[in-house]
Structure 1
Amino acid sequence: MSSSIWHPFTQHGLNEPVPLVTHAKGALLHTADGRAVIDAISSWWVTTHGHCHPRIMAAIAEQTQKLDQLIFAGWTHEPAEEVAAGLRAIMPESLTRVFFSDSGSTSVEVALKMALGFWHWRGENRHRIVVMDHSYHGDTIGAMSVGARGVFNRPYDPLLFDVGRIPFPAAGAEQATLDALEALCRQPDTAALIVEPLVLGSGGMLIYGPETLKAMREICAKHGVLFIADEVMTGWGRTGTLTACEQAGVVPDILCLSKGLTGGSVPLAVTMASEPIFEAHHSTDRARMFFHSSSYTANPIACAAAAANLAIWREEPVLERVAALAERQVAWIEKLDRFCHFNNPRTLGTIAALDLKTSGETGYMSDLAPRLMAFFRERDVLLRPLGNTVYVMPPYCIADDELARVWDAIGEAVISF
């Protein structure tokens, strides 16, 4: 359709179709031309319980009649208080402080500023952030700085700050990662490590083991380096547990959450911090306050959605649904593996991924990706491959026949491409 909208991650010069979605329910998106499209990637990894979940929609509708927006600097409201209390109840006990923001990228910006502020107010000159190769933490300036450098951010290089880098802990090469981290943590200017726990999403659904995550946390603790867990994608059950850090028995100093925080319904994020992080900023000196906010920090309507999501997690068997979906994903990728040829089939919780064999470029800019997207779109399946990596990350409510259609389309693509 004709539009003046500039879409994200879209090259409009290619004139690719932009379907108009009119409504959604469960795992299905309904378009203006009458198609029912299976949302096999949870609309960019956000939708957990399904589109337009009744409990979340009801909470949003009710809140719109009470309080729509409130400045959060020096004021508060019931939905925010409920969300903060709910998070404290289910997240690690040492994460005592809840700071609201608007998106995954901003939750990372907040985490970086908290970490640097912590060292600044302690009078220690620690400013270096350590990151993992192939990582992605968002598209704002700080978040781009701690992500992989390349086509995503090449035009903005002059704005990005320097970081220390460790290699991705590929199977058999984990020790190299740990050695690199040890060397950087010994440097007196190292402030924090930020990681995507267990799986690097935009980097190609790259999976590493909990024992490596645990070892990285131990190295940071030994050297007094802050450990930031970016669980924007991995949180809320995606990896099989509430957070990915649970699988390693790891508690970060700072935790970033978004996407599934509201069940994927409306934008909201939090950065949870340990008490020492808060105390470093706590003072009678107004100059030591944490200088970060946005106009819509802790928006009451978004918080109402998050409170409803937390109630669903408390009162419904969400992890049972996650486990059931994880089993179905494993079964489908194993079935496909018996009949088709592709590389590196892998699963983690509700996430399944595989790499199509190609003689061309295999990175994000592979020309295979847009051809695959078009192929799946023609079959009423929303999949958005990362280069030659095809992954499935559906809402937990996806029906058996819907998931079968997704994997049938993938099988057809493996044969066709």
Structure 2
Amino acid sequence: MLQTTVNTLPERDLAVIWHPYTQMQTAPAPIGIVRGEGACLYDEQDNAYIDATSSWWVNIHGHAHPYMAQQLAAQALQLQHCIFAGYTHPPAVNLAERLLQILPDNQARVFYSDNGSTAVEVALKMALQYWDNKGQRKHKLLAFKNAYHGDTFGAMSVSGRSVFTRVFEDLLFEVHFLDVPSPENITQIIADIAAQDPEQVAAFIFEPLLQGSGGMIMYDATAFDQLLQYCRSKDILLIADEVMTGFGRTGKNFAMENIRTQPDMICLSKGLTGGSMALGVTTSTAAIYDAFLSADKLKTLFHGHSFTANPLACTMALASLDLFIKPECGEQRQRIQIRHQHFLDELQQQPSVKNPRLLGTILAFEVTTNNADGYTNNLADHLHRFFKSRRIMLRPLGNTLYILPPYCITDEQLDAVYDSIRQMLAELKEIV
């Protein structure tokens, strides 16, 4: 009997793979991507797809960048991995030194992990054990409503209750959630914290100025700084989750550069390696680090990963930094922001567009529908199919559409993304 041979990449995939954030029973077959170049990814037929969301917000310099590939190849011939407990290596030390040069100047130590969610887990454990090591039992935590900090259990606990956390809510630790600040509500938010007995609050974790998965929610920097100053006055540790906002996304190198109050800890990933390899970083002040120094081994931070400070990943982060600090990268970001601003002006005239907004290289808006805004809005599947058919990689958050491209995207490619959105808005009744 002849056996049918499964040839295409999507067919092979569907036989063996379970994809993230995907209802496998109803989802269409994935597109098989075999190579990348610049702001484009290419399928098996060599069709180009413009990566308008940086492949989940990680790719900042473009795909298959020659310089990064060269650096990776050289390091692979030198050292691919080394246990990081009791040993060290040049890529890890070099990267820590260089990161501390560009981060807020109160940051003093670098702890390595392997993704954004684990970088958050590390920060939460540092914060809680910091107070325990100092002989204080402070277990309360603050976070923003609609926050998203990752999918591991600690990160889920400090994330807003949503479809991401629904099944696990009885297992998550208690967190007090705040509204994002504005000039109108900042007094009420501070009063809300005061009512929670702030002396018992260990830390406040936040996505500075922009909540990504919550719907690209942008909020006021001045009111936010007031909130951070109040928390600082109450000895509440400040954890800046810059996993998404770091490395230029908000216009500055890091979102916290827009704020006077410096954080105690910073979480980094995504753009850290230019979207090339998995790596997470949690940085801390000297005061946090010093609280773990003791002859008592029970005051050790008992956390680690097999691939902590992987030399290949650290090398890719160093290569990405080389590209990031070049003047050309800043010019690319400024060019994208200017182009986005022109398109934003156009979107503001569209009756089916709600709340168009811009922060750095991130442009977002809601498509008006009869359903509630949010991740479960059923317009998302229609929008996703619409843009895939035009070979534009846009992945809506419900009815929230956003553009967050690699910095190397060309003006012609941006025009193609804008044109596809114009077409979508013109054909909206047919899509729905």
TM-score by length of 1: 0.97
Report the Cα distance in structure 1 between the residues aligned to 2:260 and 2:49, rounded to whole angstroms.
Answer: 38
Instruction: Report the counterpart of residue 72 of structure 2 in structure 1.
Output: 60
Report the Cα distance in structure 1 between the residues aligned to 2:325 and 2:182, rounded to whole angstroms.
Answer: 36
Report the Cα distance in structure 2 between the residues aligned to 1:287 and 1:362, rounded to whole angstroms.
Answer: 47
**How big is each residue's C-alpha offset from its partner over 1:94-149, in whole Å with a ceiling of 9 and x where there is no partner?**
10000001000000000000000100000011011101000000000000000011
The Cα of 1:404 is off from its aligned counterpart by 0.7
Return 39-48 or 247-256, whichever deviates more: 247-256
1:180 aligns with 2:172: no
Instruction: Report the counterpart of residue 51 of structure 2 in structure 1.
Output: 39
For residues 294 and 47 of structure 1, do their structure 2 counterparts lie closer, same or farther at Cα, with a shift above 3 Å needed? same
1:241–1:319 Cα contact (<8 Å) kept = no
1:282 aligns with 2:293: yes
Instruction: Report the counterpart of residue 362 of structure 1 in structure 2.
Output: 373
Instruction: Report the counterpart of residue 101 of structure 1 in structure 2.
Output: 113
Structure 1: which 4+ aligned runs deviate by more than 6 Å?
none
Which residue, 241, 245, 252 being the options, matches 1:230? 241
Instruction: Report the counterpart of residue 249 of structure 1 in structure 2.
Output: 260
Instruction: Report the counterpart of residue 371 of structure 1 in structure 2.
Output: 382
The Cα of 1:229 is off from its aligned counterpart by 0.3
Instruction: Report the counterpart of residue 301 of structure 1 in structure 2.
Output: 312
1:171–1:208 Cα contact (<8 Å) kept = no
Instruction: Report the counterpart of residue 14 of structure 1 in structure 2.
Output: 26
2:138–2:202 Cα contact (<8 Å) kept = yes
The Cα of 1:338 is off from its aligned counterpart by 3.1
Instruction: Report the counterpart of residue 283 of structure 2 in structure 1.
Output: 272
The Cα of 1:12 is off from its aligned counterpart by 0.8
The Cα of 1:336 is off from its aligned counterpart by 3.3
Return 59-68 or 313-322, whichever deviates more: 313-322
Structure 1 counterpart SS, 2:193 = helix
The Cα of 1:340 is off from its aligned counterpart by 5.1
- The 5-angstrom pairing of residues 9-408 of structure 1 reads 9-169=21-181, 172-184=184-196, 186-339=197-350, 341-408=352-419
Q: How many pairs are equivalent? A: 416
2:54–2:404 Cα contact (<8 Å) kept = yes
1:195–1:229 Cα contact (<8 Å) kept = yes
Report the Cα distance in structure 2 between the residues aligned to 1:72 and 1:343, rounded to whole angstroms.
Answer: 49
1:169–1:176 Cα contact (<8 Å) kept = no
Amino acid at match of 1:99: F
Amino acid at match of 1:254: M
Amino acid at match of 1:135: A
The Cα of 1:248 is off from its aligned counterpart by 1.5
Report the Cα distance in structure 1 between the residues aligned to 2:410 and 2:332, rounded to whole angstroms.
Answer: 11
Return 371-380 or 249-258, whichever deviates more: 249-258
The Cα of 1:332 is off from its aligned counterpart by 1.4
The Cα of 1:324 is off from its aligned counterpart by 1.5
2:183–2:223 Cα contact (<8 Å) kept = no
1:167–1:176 Cα contact (<8 Å) kept = no
Amino acid at match of 2:299: R
The Cα of 1:15 is off from its aligned counterpart by 3.5
TM-score by length of 2: 0.94
Structure 1 unaligned segments of length 5 or more: list them.
none
Report the Cα distance in structure 1 between the residues aligned to 2:321 and 2:409, rounded to whole angstroms.
Answer: 20
Structure 1 counterpart SS, 2:25 = helix
Report the Cα distance in structure 1 between the residues aligned to 2:399 and 2:129, rounded to whole angstroms.
Answer: 40
The Cα of 1:173 is off from its aligned counterpart by 3.3
For residues 51 and 340 of structure 1, do their structure 2 counterparts lie closer, same or farther at Cα, with a shift above 3 Å needed? farther
Amino acid at match of 2:31: P
1:340–1:415 Cα contact (<8 Å) kept = no
